[in-house]
Structure 1
Amino acid sequence: MTIGLMLTLAALAVVDSTSFGTLVIPVYLLLSSERSRVSRLLIYLGTIAAFYFLVGVALMLGLSAAVDAFGEALRSRPAYWAQLVLGVGLFAVSYRFDPKWRAKRGKPERRFEPRTGGPRVMVPLALTAGVIEVATMVPYLAAVGIMTTSGLATGQWLPLLAGYVFVMILPPLALMGLRGLAGAWLEPKLERLRAWLTKHSASMVSWTLAIVGFLLARDAAVYLFFFPPS
């Protein structure tokens, strides 16, 4: 284990700490006016940290090899047709969340706010965010790959992985502490941020669905119509 390896992992963790699940949702929960917001945020962060840690452990222990066993089935024509239908469907559904599309049809704008509540709400919210994001978190997957190829022993990569996940959730923890120290000064700025997130939530969902749908459909179309799988 070298200093260069640790610095590389730390840099990747900092990038991962800015994702929707590890920053945007925690910030929104922190901005809630309820007194239980601190305990609710800690439950959320603890759950998503545990989720990413267990995913990392599974990958380090070779779960990817089990996925590779189904590679042939995933590269078949029926699989690509299903992917194409899913991609087109997601792209079409994205318009139903677009504020401009809804305004032209006289429909009210949709706004998405994370549900607040106890563990029964926070735990599923964190798990959902983790499942949605884990496949797209390139820095996290790269970090797991680096640790795998470095030939680290279990006693070495386990604490490294735990430290990586902790760095991922460090920004909202720091923001929570800052709010406790400078609440009166920070409150107006946080409220403006909350209003902005709420106002643009539907647009973000619309763009996310459209981009994911387009990429899925394009990938399937290339294989089906230009380079058919054998």
Structure 2
Amino acid sequence: MSNSLGSGLTELIPLAAVIALSPLSIIPAVLVLHSPRPRPTGLAFLAGWVVGLATLTALFIGISGLLGGMHDKPPAWASVARVVIGAALIVFGLYRWFTRHSKPHQMPGTAHLTSARPGKALVLGALLSVANPKVLFICAAAGFAIGTAGLGSAVPAAAIIFVAVSASTVALPILAYTFSGERLDPTLERLKAWMEKHNSALVAAILIVIGLLVLYKGIHGL
């Protein structure tokens, strides 16, 4: 391996934070805990969410390999890809910032979570992760980063860490509720209300910051 796992994580952790800190990740995890059977339904949703993230990440690692990225030395196109991805994240973040007051805060695809049963929650968890453009884009960036970082045998470990960090904020309320139950209801309601109110601003700020980091790493590698 020409690059250590620790070096690769300096790029992966910020990308994972975009997914983890997004209201579109956290709010569905809170909503599913208001279902008729919150504990099994929440755990099923978490399982689906993790499977969706892992599938997307593995897919783009595989695509990176097909493009010749799975070598000890990162290919020349990897830095160009980072520049493009970083610039796109910044543009998308700026768009979200300037349009944050133009429409009400909406959480697409979450209308059925409060009435879901475990089986349906499993499917919804997978679909909400795979069908979310922002999650798809970040998993693509992470998959290409893992596949082009020259990690060798550490590729699976890097992918597992990325998925674990990405899913951490979905896992936290669900696992906490599993052990603490209804005592968390007021806290979860306040969290949901706050994140719905500041959804667009939070997403915009995260995208711009991470975009700058990815763009810098891409330019540095050229």
TM-score normalised to structure 2 length = 0.56
CA 1:22 to 1:144, structure 2 compared with 1: closer, same or farther past 3 Å?
farther
Instruction: Look up the match of 2:160.
Output: 163
* Cα drift, residue 63 of structure 1: 5.9
Is 1:144 aligned to 2:147, yes or no?
yes
Q: Quote the Cα distance in structure 2 between the aligned partners of 1:135 and 1:162.
A: 12
- Aligned equivalent of 2:137, options 114, 122, 132: 132
Structure 1: gaps of 5 or more residues: 72-82, 103-108, 216-230
Task: After superposition, give the CA deviation of every residue in 1:40-79 in whole Å (9 maximum; x if it has no partner).
Answer: 23212211221112212321342679xx7xx9xxxxxxxx
Task: After superposition, give the CA deviation of every residue in 1:144-166 in whole Å (9 maximum; x if it has no partner).
Answer: 332x2x5x2xxx24533442344
Q: Quote the Cα distance in structure 1 between the aligned partners of 2:26 and 2:176.
A: 12
Task: After superposition, give the CA deviation of every residue in 1:106-152 in whole Å (9 maximum; x if it has no partner).
Answer: xxx51111423436644342123432334565xx6444332x2x5x2
Is 1:172 aligned to 2:170, yes or no?
yes
- Aligned equivalent of 2:48, options 25, 28, 43: 43
Contact 1:56 1:161 in 2 (8 A): no
Structure 2: gaps of 5 or more residues: 71-76, 81-87, 113-119, 213-222
Q: Quote the Cα distance in structure 2 between the aligned partners of 1:6 and 1:157.
A: 6
Q: Which has the larger radius of gyration?
A: 1
TM-score normalised to structure 1 length = 0.55
Task: After superposition, give the CA deviation of every residue in 1:150-191 in whole Å (9 maximum; x if it has no partner).
Answer: 5x2xxx245334423443334532442223223445433322
Is 1:113 aligned to 2:116, yes or no?
no
Is 1:52 aligned to 2:49, yes or no?
no
How many residue pairs match? The answer is 175
Alignment RMSD, CA only? 4.4
Q: Quote the Cα distance in structure 2 between the aligned partners of 1:30 and 1:177.
A: 10
